[in-house]
Chain A
């Protein structure tokens, strides 16, 4: 359904995303994980043609949606794709909710535009969606404004907006970061249901590896603008190949004794513009070989599960 080929994104500060390949099919759920600042959000934004125009440019690559290159669409065409075919749940709810519109109006807008629902039918669909994301009591809930909601409630309103359009592809950028486990489970079940019911595909951007483990089919691990490992979730978690993935899995609080210092990965991600020609993780890697920083690592593994690593963990 969606195929990203060799995508490169650049800003004034340097190359942000460097040759990414990704694909999702109908009904499939792909997890995109990686260190803060590695380019997950801007990759997602590029699929929707929502990159900050002046600041970030697509310099290379194609984004194919059902075979059509959507990177080259104009604004009007892209507007139809957005919502109708592809919806996005944004990382920061307040930046995408309209502060002066009630919940009913914000969600209703999408229902009118994409599903031609109006009047009483629209209102009852708004109620249904709000209840699905754990905001019941329709009539009263509908009249509220974003500032009257808690952080997690705002996030859920945005989820309701994205699901309202029944998109073929949902891109969810950290959709449950502000949510407790019970409501998180409810939202993830809801996404799962929509996958089963009409084959919705989903790209889930998250830092929560537990969520990836429970919900995704495949996972792509990003580091400094590149995908360093990709494969079926169970394989990647049991036998990580890339040393970054391996280190990442060790830092999870739940995998460590409570109160102990966590085995943090020391150092920081190299800034865009200051990345080495080889593996960008080399500087922080305990298993680095002499050639790691200088030469781009080969692709190691199988077609299903592979990593770009000179000295793979398995």
Chain B
């Protein structure tokens, strides 16, 4: 079966002064099935938003393919491109920056309906406001009259206007307080169940990602370093970077997570600068499990030890090894 979306060896460079380049995406490949939710997590600046924007074709990929139902989006023009565009929508990271301050909420939410010539705009806008939990009186107001979380819901309503097949949600719930967050997460779950909506769910918040995703991709330095079914990843993270991320999740007093006594792994060294690429494993300058081989030889995103299919992939020479004797508990 053709996957709904297929990303093949996607590369995106930004100029970084002189001859240097920021390698925001460095050969990303994955498939997204109908109704599937892929969570993408990773450090600030590792390329998550760039991935979303490139899939939306808001940024031109340097190389690689993005196929929707088997057709490369780069080859589409005119009507077919417009139709394909309606199928993939995005909720942007900065809710305020993406809303026109001079337009009313009704205009903003209804805009995609106008662009794509859909009928019954007013009724659909009312429906969308209900869906995201905004009062009908919001329709006539301007974005600046709303709080941060309310603006995020306006952005979500707009992204859902055309009933897309795929929603790219870039930090869509990060700015929301937990009770609204849970409403929106439940809303996504419902849309998925009822409409078979697929999602690429970008977030730095691991507990939210775990909650909504079927599969999770951990991103580091423009690459996926580990992909796995959500539960497997949390039960047994394999990549040293994934392990460090997990150990840094803030714990709630009294919650199940707090009773597990895993120690926080503090990563040494600086957050990477995407214009300077280390040799060997991209993670080796900060890796607490690094050995000599890691300095020179770059690990591939391969099936994890003991796995045959591509359900669990990990890019580490020592994937999943017990690291307790290498000072893995951190500094």
The reply to whether the CB of A182 lies closer than 8 angstroms to some CB of chain B is yes
Are B253 and A262 touching (Cβ within 8 A)? no
Asked whether A268 lies within 8 Å of B175 as measured between CB atoms, the reply is: no
| A251-B179 in contact (CB<8A) | yes
Contact code string B52-82 (vs A, CB < 8 Å = 1, else 0): 0000000000000000000000000000000
Tell yes or no: A6 within 8 A of B by CB: no
Q: Check A174 against B175 for contact (C-beta < 8 Å).
A: yes
Chain A, 77-126, CB within 8 A of any chain B CB = 91-95
- Contact A254 B94, CB 8 Å, known A262-B182, A265-B179: no
| Known contacts A134-B271, A207-B176, A248-B179; A37/B146 CB under 8 A | yes
- With a cutoff of 8 Å between Cβ atoms, the chain B residues found around residue A211 in the complex are 250
Between A13, A153, A262, the greatest number of chain B beta carbons within 10 A of the residue's beta carbon is seen for: A262
Contact of A255 with B42 at beta-carbon distance under 8 Å, contacts A37-B150, A180-B245 already known: no
- For A154, the closest partner residue in chain B by CB is B94
- Interface residue from A174, A185, A209 paired with B252 (Cβ < 8 Å): A209
Query: What CA separation (Å) do A268 and B177 show in the bound complex?
Result: 13
Q: Does A293 contact B (CB under 8 A)?
A: no
A143 at the B interface (CB under 8 A): yes
Interface residues of A in 161-200 (CB under 8 A from B): 174, 177-185
Q: Is B44 in contact with A213, judged by CB distance below 8 angstroms? A: no
Nearest 3 CB-CB pairs, A to B? A36-B149, A152-B44, A210-B250
List residues of A whose CB falls within 8 A of some B CB: 13, 33-38, 41, 52, 55, 91-95, 131, 134-137, 140-141, 143, 148-153, 155-156, 174, 177-185, 207-211, 213-214, 234, 237-238, 247-249, 251-256, 258-259, 261-265, 268, 271
9 contacts between A and B (CB under 8 A): A92-B97, A136-B270, A136-B273, A155-B44, A178-B44, A182-B244, A213-B253, A248-B179, A265-B182
Given contacts A36-B176, A185-B250, A253-B178, 15 further A-B contacts (CB under 8 A): A13-B145, A92-B97, A135-B271, A150-B45, A151-B44, A151-B49, A174-B148, A178-B44, A178-B171, A180-B42, A182-B267, A183-B44, A214-B250, A248-B178, A248-B179
